[in-house]
């Protein structure tokens, strides 16, 4: 563990300041209606997830399995310097500019046509930040004349989108207590909605909304039972019921970080945020379900109240964070159309819920080996545990009995976002096949220190592959096709009306597949592992694709035997743009 945090603390290198170029006056940017319409508009990419529901689907069809062979690189932009590491960002495109975040809390504005930098903002990171899982940043949010992003020292920063000048900077929480922030913000009704990171440090997860113009806090909703929310500067309501699922004072250090950010469904006017693992990992120290960890929360964007919740792993003892995105879609089944939401959880099950009330509709395995539970009981919504697959209780100073559990704590699917195609009615899920030796250890809470109470070693399940891109039918839970990859898949997925699915690999490739058959139809090597999320848009009658390249993230830091297998992958830090030229 000490080695891990020494590695992560490289992020404490001071940033190089602020470089400015480009126009002096800010033009009007996207408003609420533009953001809500992002999934249908094709000339830009205005939101993380390519629409608030985060289906990551574009109706563009110039690129298809036949024409994609003509997709060629246009330019590549380097993030520069020695600050490479994991690049997990998704670009935004608006009015001739690409906005993209980089590792170490950096933000760039780049000319779409030329790849020339317009401006760069380097956040000044203090000494002693404690990111658990590399110095990544997953993206920004655009609204009117500003662009917003979260930083590793747990701040939310608003910049003028045309100059890169800081408009306001607000503290989310105390980085010295283990808080950080890596997710792309979400804009809803003039509010910037964010979460927090730091579940491995015994923090309190939360979702908060700030006025997009001023940065002032509107509401805050803790994700651990017993903690009070706020609304307009005053206490509002308690999250859950005090000590209902947490004993004593454990709710004060309960974890449940909302480190992946959220999605928004305009049809039900609901935010969906996933919550992380309970703290510590040692489940014997915290009896009960430990609400609302390892869950999906449906939140009212007006006041932060919880409408409903669904807990995927009650009393989590394997670090199966429930942060993965809930993607809203219309489930057409048995002659009915249901307002549904789907989630590929770290615990290995693919869940379909009624997004109006959180009722479980189905839960199916999307990986080949799940040891911690026999199944998910659809009537109760709860897992049927394999009790002998929970790590043993420590005795005195001695660690508890070790068990081999699958999936590993890095998850059947980790942060990397899946995609949904309304055309094929399939989800495209980046999955990983691995397990872990895991055991519990004695632990006590200390502010700002790792709060795990567990040890582990991750191991691949198969000799020929770890990663698997899988097309899943949400009506049946069945896997329609799969692509197997030697290294873990750690990047996001894009699908299009042209019957294509794009994703990246640690081996450096951006790949395209036939969305119906899974046949690989195109690939390009970017020179470093691709762990970012690709996007597509149309400009001057040509279809473009962009992706960030740069190997890193949690796998090299936490991956155990898997980390050894991928140790020779080159790091990087660059933005690649491709297009299909006019005939």
Rounded to whole angstroms, the Cα distance separating 294 from 283 reads 13
Number of alpha helices (DSSP H) and beta strands (DSSP E) in the chain: 4, 41
Q: Is 277 a known ligand-binding residue?
A: yes
Give the Cα-Cα-Cα angle 222, 227, 349 (nearest 5 degrees): 50
Rounded to whole angstroms, the Cα distance separating 353 from 231 reads 29
> Cβ neighbours of residue 438 under 8 Å, at least 6 residues apart?
318, 391, 402, 403, 404, 405, 409, 454, 455, 456
Q: Is 481 a known ligand-binding residue?
A: no
Q: Is 182 a known ligand-binding residue?
A: yes
- What is the pLDDT at residue 10? 32
Rounded to whole angstroms, the Cα distance separating 552 from 187 reads 28
Residue with tokens 């950010």: 261
> Cβ neighbours of residue 6 under 8 Å, at least 6 residues apart?
none
The tens digit of pLDDT for each residue in 303-361 reads 999 999 999 999 999 999 999 999 999 999 889 999 999 999 999 999 999 999 999 99
Rounded to whole angstroms, the Cα distance separating 527 from 76 reads 11
- What is the pLDDT at residue 27? 54
Q: What is the three-state SS of 217-236?
A: EEEEEECCCCCEEEECCEEE
- On whether the CB atoms of residues 66 and 536 are closer than 8 A, the answer is no
Q: Exposed/middle/buried for 6, CB within 10 Å: 0-12, 13-18, 19+?
A: exposed
- On whether the CB atoms of residues 409 and 319 are closer than 8 A, the answer is yes
DSSP codes joined into one string, 229-268: EEETTEEEEESS-TTSSS-TTGGGG-B---TT-EEEETTT
Dihedral of alpha carbons 246, 174, 18, 14, sign: negative
**Number of neighbouring beta carbons within 10 Å of residue 21:** 12
- What is the pLDDT at residue 21? 34
Which domains does the chain possess? 32-579 (2.140.10.10)
Selection from 307, 312, 331 nearest residue 323 by Cα: 312
**Number of neighbouring beta carbons within 10 Å of residue 453:** 24
H helices of 466-548, where?
none
State the DSSP code for 409: T
Rounded to whole angstroms, the Cα distance separating 164 from 117 reads 11
- What is the pLDDT at residue 24? 34
Q: Is 267 a known ligand-binding residue?
A: no
Rounded to whole angstroms, the Cα distance separating 80 from 68 reads 30
Question: Which residues carry out catalysis?
Answer: 319
Q: Is 296 a known ligand-binding residue?
A: no
**Number of neighbouring beta carbons within 10 Å of residue 12:** 16
Distances (CA, A) of 110 to 49, 116, 322, 365: 20, 6, 34, 41
Mean pLDDT across the chain, nearest whole number?
93
Rounded to whole angstroms, the Cα distance separating 330 from 374 reads 29
- The two structure tokens encoding residue 282: 């040692």
Selection from 537, 578, 535, 551 nearest residue 91 by Cα: 535
- On whether the CB atoms of residues 509 and 524 are closer than 8 A, the answer is yes
- What is the pLDDT at residue 82? 66
Q: Is 414 a known ligand-binding residue?
A: yes
- The two structure tokens encoding residue 175: 């980085």
> Cβ neighbours of residue 281 under 8 Å, at least 6 residues apart?
317, 318, 319, 440, 452, 453, 454
Q: Is 138 a known ligand-binding residue?
A: yes
- On whether the CB atoms of residues 373 and 363 are closer than 8 A, the answer is no
- On whether the CB atoms of residues 52 and 553 are closer than 8 A, the answer is no
- What is the pLDDT at residue 581? 95
Rounded to whole angstroms, the Cα distance separating 360 from 329 reads 15
Q: Spell 71-110 as b/e; 16+ CB within 10 A means b.
A: beebbebebeeebbbbbbbbbbbbeebbbbbbbbbbbbbb
Rounded to whole angstroms, the Cα distance separating 112 from 401 reads 55
The tens digit of pLDDT for each residue in 183-208 reads 999 999 999 999 999 999 999 999 99
- What is the pLDDT at residue 6? 37
- The two structure tokens encoding residue 262: 């959220």
Q: Is 522 a known ligand-binding residue?
A: no
Q: Which residues of the chain have pLDDT under 50?
A: 1-26
């Amino acid at each position: 563990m000490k080695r891990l945090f020494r590695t992560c603390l490289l992020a404490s290198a001071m940033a190089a300041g602020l470089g400015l170029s480009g126009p002096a006056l800010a033009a009007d940017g996207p408003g609420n209606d533009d953001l809500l319409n992002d999934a249908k508009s094709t000339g830009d990419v205005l939101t993380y997830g390519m629409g608030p529901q985060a289906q990551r689907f574009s109706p563009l069809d110039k690129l298809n399995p036949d024409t994609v062979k003509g997709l060629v690189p246009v330019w590549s932009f380097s993030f520069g310097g020695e600050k490479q590491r994991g690049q997990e960002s998704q670009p935004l495109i608006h009015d001739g500019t690409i906005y993209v975040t980089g590792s170490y809390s950096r933000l760039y504005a780049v000319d779409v046509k030329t790849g020339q930098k317009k401006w760069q903002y380097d956040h000044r990171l203090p000494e002693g930040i404690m990111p658990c899982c590399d110095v990544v940043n997953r993206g920004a949010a655009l609204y009117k004349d500003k662009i917003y992003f979260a930083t590793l020292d747990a701040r939310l920063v608003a910049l003028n989108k045309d100059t890169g000048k800081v408009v306001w900077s607000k503290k989310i929480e105390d980085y010295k207590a283990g808080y950080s922030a890596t997710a792309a913000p979400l804009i809803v009704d003039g509010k910037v909605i964010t979460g927090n990171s730091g579940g491995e440090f015994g923090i309190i997860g939360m979702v908060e909304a700030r006025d997009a113009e001023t940065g002032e806090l509107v509401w805050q909703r803790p994700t651990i039972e017993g903690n009070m929310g706020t609304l307009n500067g005053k206490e509002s309501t308690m999250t859950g019921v005090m000590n209902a699922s947490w004993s004593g004072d454990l709710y004060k250090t309960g974890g449940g970080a909302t480190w992946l950010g959220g999605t928004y469904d305009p049809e039900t006017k609901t935010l969906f945020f996933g919550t992380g693992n309970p703290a510590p990992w040692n489940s014997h120290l915290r009896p009960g379900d430990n609400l609302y960890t390892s869950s999906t929360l449906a939140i009212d964007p007006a006041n932060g109240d919880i409408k409903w919740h669904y807990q995927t792993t009650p009393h989590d003892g394997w670090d199966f964070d429930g942060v993965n995105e809930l993607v809203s879609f219309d489930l057409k089944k048995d002659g009915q159309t249901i307002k549904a939401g789907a989630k590929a959880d770290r615990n290995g099950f693919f869940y379909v819920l009624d997004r109006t009330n959180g009722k479980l509709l189905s839960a199916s395995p999307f990986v080949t080996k799940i040891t911690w539970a026999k199944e998910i009981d659809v009537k109760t919504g709860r897992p049927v545990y394999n009790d002998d697959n929970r790590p043993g209780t420590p005795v005195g100073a001695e660690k508890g009995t070790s068990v081999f559990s699958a999936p590993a704590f890095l998850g059947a699917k980790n942060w990397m976002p899946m995609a949904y195609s309304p055309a094929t009615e399939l989800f495209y899920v980046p999955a990983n096949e691995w397990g872990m030796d895991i055991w519990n250890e004695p632990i006590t809470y200390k502010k700002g220190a790792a709060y795990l109470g567990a040890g582990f070693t991750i191991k691949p399940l198969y000799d020929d592959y770890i990663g698997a891109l899988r097309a899943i039918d949400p009506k049946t839970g069945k896997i329609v096709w799969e692509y197997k990859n030697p290294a873990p898949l750690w990047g996001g997925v894009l699908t299009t009306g042209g019957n294509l699915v794009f994703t990246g690999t640690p081996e450096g490739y951006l790949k395209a597949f036939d969305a119906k058959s899974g046949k690989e139809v195109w690939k390009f090597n970017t020179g470093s592992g691709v762990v970012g999320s690709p996007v597509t848009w149309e400009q001057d009658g040509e279809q473009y694709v962009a992706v960030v390249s740069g190997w890193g993230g949690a796998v090299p830091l936490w991956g155990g035997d898997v980390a050894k297998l991928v140790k020779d992958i080159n790091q990087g830090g660059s933005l690649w743009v491709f297009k299909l030229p006019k005939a």
